[in-house]
Amino acid sequence: MVFKGTVVHSQNGENVLEYHLWTEDWEAMVEGSKFKGWENFIDAGGDNQEGYIGLQDHGDDVWFRNIKVKVLD
């Protein structure tokens, strides 16, 4: 989940990871990652930091169901 630049990953109802986009810490994490050379990754969205929802897998068969999106103000 992302809300106002804060990303929270939860699994089985428990928050397992939290970080903040577009901060100095964010830039340092990207600089030390495999995404370092990816154009526009640090700015991830530029001026318009909203848009598509991405679902990720790592090459295995995967199914998604009962996905709900709620706008947070």
Say yes or no to pLDDT of 19 above 80. Answer: yes
Q: CA angle, 51 as apex, 45 and 72 as ends, to 5°?
A: 110
pLDDT 10s digits, 26-64: 888 888 988 888 776 666 655 556 667 778 888 899 999
* β-strand partners of 19: 7
Residue located via tokens 């397992």? 16
Q: Model-level pTM greater than 0.95? A: no
The residue-averaged pLDDT of 17-27 equals 87
Residues facing 72 on adjacent strands: none
State residue 45's pLDDT score: 54
